[in-house]
Amino acid sequence: MLHSNQQPQIDRHKAAIVRNDLSRPVRLALQAGLFTDVATFFDYGCGHGTDAKKIAEMGYASSGWDPHYFPLAEHTPADVVNLGYVINVIENERERREALHQAWALTRKVLIIAAQVLIGEPGKGHLAWNDGVITARNTFQKYYEQQELKGYIDSVLGVDAVPAGLGTYFVFRDEALAQAFRASRFRSRASTPRVRVHVKSFDDYRELLQPLIQFFSDRGRLPVKGELANEAEVVAEFRSLTRAFAVIQQATDRNEWAAIAEKRRQEMLVYIALSRFGRRPKFTDLPADIRNDIKAFFRNYKQACETGDQMLFSLGQPGMIADCCRASRIGKFVGQALYVHVSALDALDPLLRLYEGCASRAFGRMEEATLIKFRADKPKVSYLFYPDFDTDPHPALHASMKVDLQSLYVDYRDYRDAENPPILHRKETFVTPDYPSYQEFAGLTQQEEEWGLLDHPNSIGTRRGWDERLSERQAELQGHCLIRSKSGATS
């Protein structure tokens, strides 16, 4: 038995996991576009060195250091530095802070910080020690709450860490880079309006005009001087970008371009509104492309901020969120909540996107989320994970992450071992009509309605209840198609 005055001998190195692929935090950084063509990478506390090795195989200058496995390796400054699952295995609080400071000192552009977050009670048999536990493997684990982790990083480094996912934060050296990342999270993909009319002036110069078409689709505005790679060639042929775009509009639908511009304006408003939390950046701290967006969509930065603030404050008006949820043409409203597939988030009312943004900006979006649940009666947003959404006609819930925007508390629940998990029905209601499997989902729902399987929905919301209903109606599923069960066919 360990007495209170005894210092345990912790085997920190045993906390290092042997992996064959990239760790989740580094993968998130790659997906976020934080590795430029010439980026360098350093893994502080690299364990067995898998991340450093895999990044090097991608062609980047990459190295790592670990006090046990690579103690002689140099501490190398790099554009991207990873401090992945290090501070949670250090039992000494002073050393924990030192690790943060040393990794930050090596960082030129962005520091990735990841730690274990509390998603349930620590396992039985763990010995409480300091502010964490000693595990059965004689390693130390400090389990953070999501908001606690951000608060700790911010207080130690004097920064405003940006959430990238559960237990993962990015810390940027350059404020403009930080704001570019924040804004990118609310910029959706917009499809380019298709050519409807064959206009000779367009057909002859389609290849030349393609970069301009793509730019407007991405930003919702015309480029300013220096933003378009082939600007000189386009201007030489059409005298100005405005004239060139007029030719594009002749061959396409002007209303579709106007819709793209308005969509980008609303996305910019969501980003600006959310920038009120924490330290709102100065206009000069913003990246040049965002400054140009603001000039195009608003009179000035002050007006953009005022409009964004009005939008944010409107969320607090009684009944506003409830009205938006009930009026949404996208998603399924049931039980005082709107459920929407993540693929449809960009198509939602801007106020609902802002509502979700309040959660994801503070805590990050659950990486594997399938559905987003908007509570209409309480300030809560949940992320629900259904890994078999596309293939299982009635997929079971595997995990959920509920964000309480009032208490700033995150509740994570795991349903993988549940004997009777919640399941989904009417999958087409969660997605937009252009979703690849929409027709297949809708066809199954129509068939189930005709067979009376969806009557009394309160009794079929779980796997057991649904199986009982299928048995009662002598039905079974073959993919997304109903057939008579063998017992029913022979009766």
| DSSP per-residue letters across 151-205 | HHHHHHHTS--EEEETTEEEEESSHHHHHHHHHHTTPPP-PPPPP-S--HHHHTT
Question: Which single residue is written with the structure tokens 């943004």?
Answer: 357
Query: Please, where are the H alpha helices in 319-410?
Result: 320-327, 350-363
Instruction: Give the residue from 25, 16, 17 showing the smallest Cα distance to 114.
Output: 25
Backbone angles phi, psi at 61, to 5 degrees: -70, 120
Burial class (CB in 10 A: 0-12, 13-18, 19+), 152: buried
Three-state DSSP class for 476?
strand
pLDDT for position 106 = 98
Identify the three-state secondary structure at position 426. Answer: coil
What DSSP character marks residue 122?
P
In this prediction, the residues of the chain whose per-residue pLDDT falls under 50 are: 1-4, 120-129, 490-491
Sign of the Cα pseudo-torsion (431, 168, 358, 284, in order): negative
Q: How many angstroms separate the CA atoms of 39 and 62, rounded?
A: 9
Per the CB < 8 A criterion, the answer to whether 326 and 336 are in contact is no
d(CA 475, CA 174): 60
Dist. CA 483–CA 480, nearest whole Å: 10
Number of other CB atoms surrounding residue 215 within 10 Å? 19
Q: Which two tokens stand for residue 19?
A: 């992996």
Beta carbons within 8 Å of 98's beta carbon, 6+ residues apart: none
CATH number of 12-173: 3.40.50.150
Strands of 23-114, DSSP E: 40-44, 61-65, 78-84, 107-114
Closest CA to 337 of 268, 430, 252, 244: 430
Q: Residues 23, 28, 30, CA angle at the centre, nearest 5°?
A: 95
Burial of 383 (C-beta count, 10 Å sphere; 0-12/13-18/19+): buried
At which residue do the structure tokens 């050519």 appear? 195
pLDDT value at residue 62:
97
Q: What is the pLDDT of residue 3?
A: 45
Tell how strand 61-65 and strand 140-141 pair up.
Answer: unpaired
d(CA 304, CA 441): 41
Q: 430: which strand partners?
A: none
Q: How far separated are the first and last CA of the chain, in Å rounded?
A: 66
Residue 338 CA to residue 356 CA, distance in Å, equals 12
Rounded to whole angstroms, the Cα distance separating 126 from 362 reads 30
Please give the pLDDT value at position 125. Answer: 42
Q: What share of the chain is helix, strand, coil (3-state, %, to 5)?
A: 40, 20, 40
Specify the pLDDT at position 146: 79
Strand partners, 217: none
- In the 3-class helix/strand/coil scheme, how is 234-275 assigned residue by residue? HHHHHCCHHHHHHHHHHHCCHHHHHHHHHHHHHHHHHHHHHC
d(CA 26, CA 50): 11
Give burial (CB, 10 Å; 0-12/13-18/19+) of 456: exposed
Helices and strands (DSSP H and E) totals, the chain: 17, 17
pLDDT at position 20: 84
